[in-house]
A and B are shown apart, each in its own frame.
Chain A
Amino acid sequence: MIRGILLLLLTMFAAPPLPEPIEDKPVRFEVPKPRRAVLPNGVVVHMMEDRTLPTIEISAIFDVGTAADPDGLGGLVEVTAEAVRSGGAGERDGDSFEAALADLAALIELDAGVDITRFSVWSPAQSMGGALALFADLLRRPRLAGASVRTARERRAEALRRENDDPATLAFREFTRELFHDHPYGNWPTEAGLKKIGRGQVREFHGAHYGPASLTLTAAGDFDADELLDRLKSLFGDWEPDSPAETAVSDSKAVTGEDRREGGAPPDGANVTDWVERTVVPRALSQSTFVFGHRGPSWDHPDLPALDVLLEILSYYRYFLDVRDNRGLAYAAFGYFDERRQGGFFASFAGTRAESTGETIALMRRHLNEVAAGKFTDEEAQGARRFVSASFVHRFGTSARAVREFATAEIRGLPPDWLTGYTRRVEALRPDDLRRVAREHLHPDNLLLVIVGDPELIDPAPRP
C-alpha cells in the first residue's frame, strides 16, 4: 500500500519528474540495551551512557502510587511525595536545599502516579556529584517538617478545587472514581480527608513505603557507568528498610479476584447492558466534554501489543478520520488505554459543542461497537499495525526515556524480551488475532459515561 502511495506521489509531482522512486524503507532501529546492575541491598539499577550532551538524569522509581492512599486519608501519597520534595533534607531546610540545588543548576522532578512514584534528578554532568548527594539526601533523609506537610496539603486542596475548572480533568476524575468505586483506583482526595493529614501520617507513610525494597534506579547521560555505579552503591547501597512494614502497594491494598476482573462490577444499581449516564457539575460551557469506557486488563497482559493496534484503529481510523475530519464534530477525539497494575481502563474521549453531544457520543459508540465486533478492514488493521510498529522507536528517543522503559518493563514483570520483541509481536498480529483480542477485551455494552457540560444544551439525551 505504501509503495503505491509513494509512486502516486512521485509520478504526479508537478515539477520535473523525480529521477528515481523512493524506496519503501523499513524503519531502521535497534532497541538499545542498557546495563543492569544490582546494589548490595537488592536495588536494581539500569544505566545507559550517552555522550551527546554533557548532562545526566537519574531516576528513583518507588513501587507505590496514589492507589495506596489509606481509607479516609485520600491524598496522603501525593502529600507525602510533595513534602519529601519540598521540605528539605539532612541538614538543609527547604530554602537552603533549593538554593543548593539551584547553585548546581540541577533539577529534581516528581511524578506521583497511580501505581508508582518517580523522582528524577537532572543536572549538567559537571555538577552531578553534588546533585546526586542532594538527591540521596532527599530520598533517604527528608525532613518532612510540619510546615512543608501543611503547605503540601493546602496546595493539594487548592488543586482539588481547581480540578473543577478543567472539563477534561473533571470528566476523567469522575469517570475513574465511578469506574473504580469499589477499588483503590477510585480513590481521590477530599478536602475533609486532606485536613486529617499531618506530619505523623506522612512520616509513617514515608517510613513504610520509601525504601530499598520498593526502589528501582535508572541513569542516563554523560557518565562512566562503572564510576556511577560505585557512587550509587555508596549513596544507596547501605539503605536498609526502616521497618518491616515497608511493602508494595499491591500487598497493602490487595483486591479480590472479583475486583480485578476486566470490565468489573458496574456501579451499584446499573444494569450492565445500560449506559450509566451522569452529568458532572453542570457547567455553562459551550462545549461538552465526555468520557465513556470500562475496565481493562492489567499492565502485564500479553495482549497489550494487540490492544495498542486496536486503539490505533479506533483512535485514528475511526474517531479522528470520521468524528473529526469527516464531520468536524470535535477537535480532540481519541481512544485511550490506561495501563495499571491491577487492571486499567479503556476510555473514549471527546469535546464537542453542547448541541452535538448526543450525535457525537452515538457516532463514537457505533465505531466502538464495530471495532469490538471485529468489523474493521484489513487495511485498517495493517495501517494501525504499521503505525504502532514504526513509531516504537520514539519510546527510545532520549537515553533517559529508553532506560526508564527497561526499568518499567521489569517493575511490571514483563518478559525479558518484552521491549526487544515488541515490534516482532506487533508485526506478527493477523486481523483474526486482533478480532479475538477485541472480542475478549472491548465491552461496548458495559460502558460508564461521564459528561461535563450544560444540561440545558446537551441534546438529544445521549442514549444508545
Chain B
Amino acid sequence: MLSPLKFRFVHRPVIVTFLLLAAWGAAPAATAGSNASSSGTWPRLQVHSTMLDNGLEVLVLERPGSPTVACYLHFRVGTADEGPATLGLSHMLEHLLFKGSRHLNTRDYHKEADIMEEIDRVGVALDRARGEGAEEEKIRALQAELEELKKSQHQLLIKDEFESLLLRAGADTVNGTTWADATNYFSTLPANQLELWLAAMADQMGHAVLREFYQERDVVMEERRLRLEDDPQGVLIEALTSTAFIAHPYRNSDWMSVLKRLTREDAQRHYETYYGANNAVLALVGDVRFEEVLPLIKKYMGRLPKRPAPPEIHIEEPAQRGERRVQVYFDAEPALAIAYHVPGLTHEDEPALALLSALLGGHGTAGLFESAALEYPEATRWSRLYRRLIEKQGLAQEILMGGHPGDRYARLLVLLVQPRAPHDLADLERGVLDQLDELKRRRVSPEELDRARRNLIALYLRILERNMGAAWMIGYTQGVSNDWRTLERYIDALGTVEPTDVQRVARTYLREHNRTVVWRSAAPDRDEDELLGGGETAALQGKGSR
C-alpha cells in the first residue's frame, strides 16, 4: 500500500535525534561496502586510516568497480553536549551549516555581515518582547523591521549555492543528522566528483556563515512539531528519555521554549567550540584509491581549523533506585516503552547485551549503524518476541528493541511495543516482562544463541553492502569510540559470548529497580478537560524514586 515513508524528503538536513524514532519514522539513508577478502561471513575491512596535521581523522575504504563514493563527515557534538540554555543548538547548527560560507551563497559577504548584525539585534529584541508579553504593537513593529532586514539580506544571497553545487554534480542528497553523540554530514556522489565535495565541504565547514538564522529556526521548530510533538512515537520516546535520565545529558531534547530563544551568537559560539578539525572524522567509501585521494584530502580538509579541545562530559547517571513509571496521554493508538540502563558501546558487557537484544527483538544495541539495520524490519521475524508475542499470543502489533539515545556513554536498552486489539497495555507489559524473566531464569541454548549471532552479523553485512552504510559504520564507530576497529572487535567479541554471559547480563541489567516504563494512550474522556495538551506528560506515578 501507499507509504509516505517512501516519499522523498529531498536534499535536506534532517534531525534524527532518536534512534528508535527513526525506526518507526523515516530512517536515515545508509550504506556500506568492502573490497576486502572474506573471513567467514564477516569480511575484514581494509580501511586506510590516517590523521592530518590539524587533527582530522581520515578513513578510506576502497571499493573498485562501485560507480559512486560515499562521503561522511562526523563531528563529535550532539544533543548531549548542550546545556539548559543551549538545547537544540547542535541541531540548529546542522541546519545552518548548509547555508554557505563567506564565499558561497553570497554576492557580497561584507555587506551581508552588516545586515546580519542588524538582524541579530532586532531578532533578539523581538524574542525578548514576545517572551515578556509586550504589547502587540511593539511586537508587530519589530516583526516588520525584521522582515525588511531579511529582504535586504535576500538581495545579497545566491540561494543554496553550496547545495546545488553538489546536487549538480550528482549527489544523491546533501544531508545531515544530529544525534546524542554526533552530528554528521553525508552525500554519495559519482566517484569522479569527490574533489568537488571535498572543496565545497571544507569551505562550508571551515568558513561557515550562519545566515538566515531566524528562517532556519522556524524550520527546526517545524521539524520538532513533525517528529516529536505531533508524532505518537516521538511523544513516547521523549517522555522515556527525559524520565530515565535524571542527571546525564542524554536526557536532553530541543524543547520549543528554548529553541525559540536561541540566537545566532549562541550558534556561532557552539560552532567555534565544537567544529574543529581535531573533533571530526572523515570517512570515504567507494571507487577511490587512498594514495590518490589523500593529497586531495590534505589540500582541502587540511585547511579546517584546529581548535581547543571541547568541554568533556563528566556527569554520570546515578544508579536508579526504583522503577520509574509514566503515563503519557496522546490521541493515538496505545504503545509502551520499557527501558533499562546499560553501559556504553565499549563496555565489556556490550557484546552479550547486543546478543540479548538480538535474541529478543532481532536487532542489536549499537546506535547509529544499528539504525540502518532498522531499514530491515523483516530481520526480526525469527526473534523470540516476534515469534511469541506477535505470532503466537497475538499480544503485539510491532516490536522494536535497541540501544538509545547514544553510544559514547552509558545508555538505555529500549523496547518499544504496540499492543494489538483487543489486548491492552497491561496485557502486553506482562507478556513482555514474562519473556525477559524467562531469559533470566532459563539459560538460552547454544543453538539459539548461535542463531542470534549469525543473524546479527548478517544484518551488519547487509548494511555494509551500500557505500554509505560502510561509511557510517566505520566513521560513526571512529567518532564515538575513537577507533573504527572497535567495530571489528565488536564483531569478534560476539563470537565469544556464551549462554551464561547472556543470562548474567539479563540478571544484572533487566531488573525492576533499573527499569523505566512509559505508557502512551488516549486520555480518558472524563478527564479530558483537566488534562494537559496532547503529548504532555500528564501524570507521574513513581513506584520507586526518581
Which residues of A are in contact with B by a Cβ distance under 8 Å? 2, 5-6, 8-10, 12-15, 18, 22, 25, 27-29, 50, 52-55, 66, 78, 86, 94-95, 98-99, 101-103, 105-110, 112-114, 122-124, 126, 151, 154-155, 157-159, 161-162, 164-169, 171-173, 176, 188, 283-287, 315-316, 320-321, 324-332, 334, 336, 338, 349, 351-353, 383, 386-387, 390-391, 393-394, 396-398, 400
Interface bin, chain B: 35 or more
B290 part of interface (Cβ distance < 8 Å): no
Q: Please choose the segment from B210-218, B239-247, B320-328, B484-492 that sits at the chain A interface, where 4 or more of its residues have CB less than 8 A away.
A: B210-218
Collect the chain A residues with CB atoms within 8 Å of residue B333's CB: 158, 161-162, 164-165
23 A-B residue pairs with CB within 8 Å: A8-B103, A12-B103, A25-B193, A52-B66, A53-B464, A66-B1, A98-B387, A102-B451, A102-B454, A151-B391, A154-B420, A158-B418, A162-B332, A166-B4, A173-B2, A188-B1, A284-B331, A284-B534, A316-B10, A326-B215, A331-B226, A394-B170, A397-B188
Q: Is B231 a contact of A166 with CB atoms below 8 Å?
A: yes
Collect the chain A residues with CB atoms within 8 Å of residue B170's CB: 27, 390-391, 393-394
Tell me how far the C-beta of A198 lies from the nearest C-beta in chain B, rounded to whole angstroms: 17
Chain A residue at minimum C-beta to C-beta distance from B214: A328
Using a CB-CB cutoff of 8 Å, which residues 265-288 of chain B contact chain A?
Answer: none
Q: Is B7 a contact of A107 with CB atoms below 8 Å?
A: no
**A114 to B232 Cα, complex, angstroms:** 27
Query: Which 5 A-B pairs give the minimum distances between C-beta atoms?
Result: A328-B218, A390-B170, A102-B382, A105-B458, A12-B103
**A66 to B169 Cα, complex, angstroms:** 38
Q: Is B68 a contact of A55 with CB atoms below 8 Å?
A: no
Chain A residue at minimum C-beta to C-beta distance from B467: A397
The answer to whether A6 and B196 touch (CB under 8 A), given A54-B43, A320-B12, A391-B170, is yes
Q: Is A114 a contact of B2 with CB atoms below 8 Å?
A: yes
Which residues of B are in contact with A by a Cβ distance under 8 Å? 1-4, 7-12, 31, 33-35, 38, 41, 43, 63, 65-68, 102-104, 154, 159-161, 164-165, 167-172, 188, 190-193, 195-196, 199-200, 203, 206-207, 212, 214-223, 225-226, 229-232, 299, 303, 331-333, 376, 378-379, 381-382, 387, 390-391, 394, 397, 418, 420-421, 451, 454-455, 457-459, 461-462, 464-467, 533-534
**A176 to B1 Cα, complex, angstroms:** 11
Tell me how far the C-beta of A39 lies from the nearest C-beta in chain B, rounded to whole angstroms: 26
Q: Is B222 a contact of A331 with CB atoms below 8 Å?
A: yes
Q: Is A176 a contact of B2 with CB atoms below 8 Å?
A: yes
The answer to whether A329 and B222 touch (CB under 8 A), given A55-B465, A284-B534, is yes
Which of A110, A113, A334 is close to B8, meaning CB atoms less than 8 Å apart?
A334
Q: Is B466 a contact of A165 with CB atoms below 8 Å?
A: no
Tell me how far the C-beta of A105 lies from the nearest C-beta in chain B, rounded to whole angstroms: 4
Q: Is B35 a contact of A78 with CB atoms below 8 Å?
A: no
Collect the chain B residues with CB atoms within 8 Å of residue A400's CB: 465
Which of B1, B104, B214, B454 is close to A105, meaning CB atoms less than 8 Å apart?
B454
Q: Is A105 a contact of B397 with CB atoms below 8 Å?
A: no
Chain A residue at minimum C-beta to C-beta distance from B215: A328
The answer to whether A9 and B387 touch (CB under 8 A), given A124-B41, A172-B4, A316-B10, is no
The answer to whether A14 and B199 touch (CB under 8 A), given A102-B451, A325-B159, A394-B68, is no
Collect the chain A residues with CB atoms within 8 Å of residue B66's CB: 52
The answer to whether A22 and B195 touch (CB under 8 A), given A53-B461, A328-B215, is yes
Q: Is A107 a contact of B462 with CB atoms below 8 Å?
A: yes
The answer to whether A52 and B168 touch (CB under 8 A), given A28-B190, A328-B214, A397-B67, is no
Chain B residue at minimum C-beta to C-beta distance from A322: B159
Q: Is B303 a contact of A15 with CB atoms below 8 Å?
A: yes
Chain A residue at minimum C-beta to C-beta distance from B229: A286
Which of B169, B195, B397 is close to A162, meaning CB atoms less than 8 Å apart?
B397
**A324 to B534 Cα, complex, angstroms:** 26
The answer to whether A114 and B218 touch (CB under 8 A), given A325-B160, A334-B8, is no
**A29 to B188 Cα, complex, angstroms:** 14
**A5 to B231 Cα, complex, angstroms:** 40
Q: Is A102 a contact of B1 with CB atoms below 8 Å?
A: no
**A173 to B303 Cα, complex, angstroms:** 50
Q: Is B420 a contact of A352 with CB atoms below 8 Å?
A: no
**A9 to B195 Cα, complex, angstroms:** 13
Tell me how far the C-beta of A143 lies from the nearest C-beta in chain B, rounded to whole angstroms: 14
Q: Is A99 a contact of B382 with CB atoms below 8 Å?
A: yes
Q: Is A285 a contact of B230 with CB atoms below 8 Å?
A: yes
**A330 to B12 Cα, complex, angstroms:** 12
Which of A5, A98, A99 is close to B161, meaning CB atoms less than 8 Å apart?
A5
Which of B41, B159, B391 is close to A54, meaning CB atoms less than 8 Å apart?
B41
Collect the chain A residues with CB atoms within 8 Å of residue B217's CB: 328
Chain A residue at minimum C-beta to C-beta distance from B452: A102
**How many A-B contacts if CB must be within 8 Å?**
266
Q: Is A98 a contact of B382 with CB atoms below 8 Å?
A: yes
Which of A29, A102, A321, A338 is close to B159, meaning CB atoms less than 8 Å apart?
A321
Collect the chain B residues with CB atoms within 8 Å of residue A397's CB: 31, 67-68, 172, 188, 466-467
Collect the chain B residues with CB atoms within 8 Å of residue A2's CB: 165, 168-169
Q: Is A320 a contact of B391 with CB atoms below 8 Å?
A: no
Tell me how far the C-beta of B271 lies from the nearest C-beta in chain A, rounded to whole angstroms: 16
Q: Is B454 a contact of A103 with CB atoms below 8 Å?
A: yes
Collect the chain B residues with CB atoms within 8 Å of residue A326's CB: 154, 159, 215
Chain A CB within 10 A, most for which of B31, B191, B461: B461
Q: Is B299 a contact of A18 with CB atoms below 8 Å?
A: yes
Chain B CB within 10 A, most for which of A107, A167, A171, A331: A331
Q: Is B331 a contact of A283 with CB atoms below 8 Å?
A: yes
Tell me how far the C-beta of B395 lies from the nearest C-beta in chain A, rounded to whole angstroms: 11
Q: Is A52 a contact of B65 with CB atoms below 8 Å?
A: yes
Q: Is B230 a contact of A167 with CB atoms below 8 Å?
A: yes
Q: Is B462 a contact of A52 with CB atoms below 8 Å?
A: no
Collect the chain B residues with CB atoms within 8 Å of residue A154's CB: 394, 420
Which of B103, B200, B225, B418 is close to A353, meaning CB atoms less than 8 Å apart?
B225
**A157 to B420 Cα, complex, angstroms:** 9
Q: Is A390 a contact of B190 with CB atoms below 8 Å?
A: yes
Q: Is B199 a contact of A9 with CB atoms below 8 Å?
A: yes
The answer to whether A331 and B219 touch (CB under 8 A), given A107-B379, A124-B458, is yes
Q: Is B193 a contact of A27 with CB atoms below 8 Å?
A: yes
Collect the chain A residues with CB atoms within 8 Å of residue B67's CB: 29, 393, 396-397
Q: Is A352 a contact of B207 with CB atoms below 8 Å?
A: no
Collect the chain B residues with CB atoms within 8 Å of residue A22's CB: 195-196, 199
Q: Is B2 a contact of A338 with CB atoms below 8 Å?
A: yes
**A155 to B160 Cα, complex, angstroms:** 44
The answer to whether A52 and B35 touch (CB under 8 A), given A13-B103, A99-B382, A332-B9, is yes
Q: Is B68 a contact of A169 with CB atoms below 8 Å?
A: no
Collect the chain A residues with CB atoms within 8 Å of residue B154's CB: 326
Chain B CB within 10 A, most for which of A12, A112, A328, A334: A328
Collect the chain A residues with CB atoms within 8 Å of residue B1's CB: 66, 78, 112-114, 188
**A107 to B454 Cα, complex, angstroms:** 12
Q: Is B232 a contact of A165 with CB atoms below 8 Å?
A: yes
Collect the chain B residues with CB atoms within 8 Å of residue A162's CB: 332-333, 397, 418
Given A9-B200, A106-B458, A172-B4, 17 extra CB contacts under 8 A = A2-B168, A9-B199, A28-B190, A66-B1, A105-B458, A109-B378, A123-B458, A154-B420, A159-B397, A167-B230, A316-B167, A327-B215, A328-B214, A349-B4, A390-B168, A397-B467, A398-B465
Which of B68, B103, B214, B331 is close to A9, meaning CB atoms less than 8 Å apart?
B103
Collect the chain A residues with CB atoms within 8 Å of residue B534's CB: 284-285
The answer to whether A107 and B451 touch (CB under 8 A), given A2-B165, A9-B104, A53-B34, is no
Collect the chain B residues with CB atoms within 8 Å of residue A94's CB: 391
Which of A6, A102, A352 is close to B222, meaning CB atoms less than 8 Å apart?
A352
Chain A residue at minimum C-beta to C-beta distance from B333: A162
Chain B residue at minimum C-beta to C-beta distance from A102: B382
**A109 to B159 Cα, complex, angstroms:** 41
Chain A residue at minimum C-beta to C-beta distance from B70: A397
**A12 to B108 Cα, complex, angstroms:** 11
Tell me how far the C-beta of B502 lies from the nearest C-beta in chain A, rounded to whole angstroms: 17
Which of A14, A53, A320, A338 is close to B102, meaning CB atoms less than 8 Å apart?
A14
**A140 to B422 Cα, complex, angstroms:** 34
